[in-house]
Amino acid sequence: MGDLGKKASYYFAMNQAGLAPKEELMEIGRKQKSMSFGIPREREEGENRIPLTPQGVELLTANGHEIIVESGAGNAANYYDHDFSEAGAKIVTNHEDPFRCDVVLKVAPPDEEERGLLSPGQLLISLLYLASQNRDSIQQLMHKKVNALAYELLKDESDCYPVVRSMSEIEGYTAIMIASEYLSNSKEGKGVLLGGITGISPAEVVVIGAGTAGEFAVRAALGLGCQVKVFDNSYRNLRELERNVGQRLFTSVLHPQVLSKALRSADAVIGSIRYFDPQSGFLISDEQVAGMKPGSIIVDLNMGNGGCLEAVGGKGGKSPVTIHHGVIYHRVHNLASRVARTSSIALSNIFAPVLLRLAMAGGIDQLIMQDVGVSHGLYLYKGILTSYRVGERLNLPSKDIGLLMAAF
């Protein structure tokens, strides 16, 4: 009789004797870890967003987690302390208190003082703004031996960047709103309606960059009745934009002569070259700006990569607006913050499920083994730089996260 037959006979004899086999105890999964999440008030000027709305807070507290919110953290997005307290959050007045939590949630990168408040093993989740980072700021985080996750680098299950796409959609629409505002008399513009009506030639909009922000700027401009021209250094991106918009457009790769001709007749220019691709960051030359119509406007969505305008770039005072060769140049690296409530809802919709998965996994160590998208967004693991892109830009050594996990 084979082994299988012997086992069957054994269990049959047990049952005949009136005995029944016990159920085998199986591991049903790791027990969810109760975690604390801290949301400090943003101190960067012009940053009005908050990473979790009261609805996101309520979802986390309902699952047994503690949320610490600094008083006034959501005011700029029209979410107030009582909204968060009613959702189950604890409101504190000390800026240091949220930095004592397991996870620190911010929008803007932490400043030098805030980096000093972090402790080894904590998880920092915030924007990175790589173009504005320096070696000292990253090395301070490395010295603190923290884990750090960048909004811009986080991927979802479809291998897309959800935060980048969401903010880019908002920025694309907002850029057209700003252009319309500055072309009107309300901002001492030349009094041009950004759009078109019967009997009057439509306003011309040039969009540089056929990524997500460019696509939604095109959608908004077409909705107003503008004549739109789109430039990009990728034929594939131009073709996909036309397919997504659902109509034929004037599209061109970035030939300087063709672009110069389009700029001369443009009323508004939207610079929306994609994130994370500094090699594609086409600069509008000073000569090209000088050839534009006086009173026209350039809205630069590329400030995270240093700006698209050669002569001005990221320079300038606190005001986001500069007049250059009679052309209005509007630059701000967090344009989505102008519609802070909408942007905050978008961020909360992305991060509330991520934080629940983080707690369900039992911490960041387990989550990055389960979720490739989160591991892609992690640029510091226990103080070790794990992002090749960050290391290359700041001339810092980096290590592969997979190898590190095997070592730990």
Could you tell me the strand order of the sheet in which 378-381 lies? Answer: 90-92, 66-70, 36-39, 103-105, 123-126, 147-150, 378-381, 384-385
**CB–CB of 260/252 below 8 Å?**
no
pLDDT < 50 stretches in the chain: 1-22, 24-29, 275-281, 313-317
Give residue 368's Cα distance to chain centre. Answer: 19
Question: Phi and psi of 109, rounded to 5°?
Answer: -60, 150
**pLDDT at site 189:** 85
**pLDDT at site 188:** 81
**CB–CB of 207/230 below 8 Å?**
yes
Tell me whether residue 196 is exposed, middle or buried, using C-beta atoms within 10 angstroms of its C-beta: 0 to 12, 13 to 18, 19 or more.
middle
Three-class DSSP category at 48: coil
Q: Which fold has domain 168-333?
A: Rossmann fold (3.40.50)
What letters, b where the CB count within 10 A reaches 16 and e where it falls short, cover 294-319?
ebbbbbbbbbbbbbbbebbebeeeee
**pLDDT at site 277:** 45
Same CATH fold assignment for domains 36-160+339-407 and 168-333: yes
Is 36-160+339-407 in CATH node 3.40.50.720?
yes
Q: C-alpha distances in angstroms, 270 versus 15, 169, 231, 277, 313? A: 78, 13, 10, 17, 14
**pLDDT at site 371:** 92
Q: Give the torsion sign (CA, 363, 367, 369, 373).
A: negative
Q: Where are the domains of the chain?
A: 36-160+339-407, 168-333
Amino acid letter at 332? V
Three-class DSSP category at 355: helix
Residues 6+ apart with CB under 8 A from 145: 120, 121, 382, 383
**CB–CB of 399/407 below 8 Å?**
no
pLDDT in tens, 30-45: 556 799 999 999 999 8
pLDDT in tens, 173-195: 999 999 999 999 988 888 999 98
Which residue, 366, 361, 362, 359, is CA-closest to 61?
A: 359
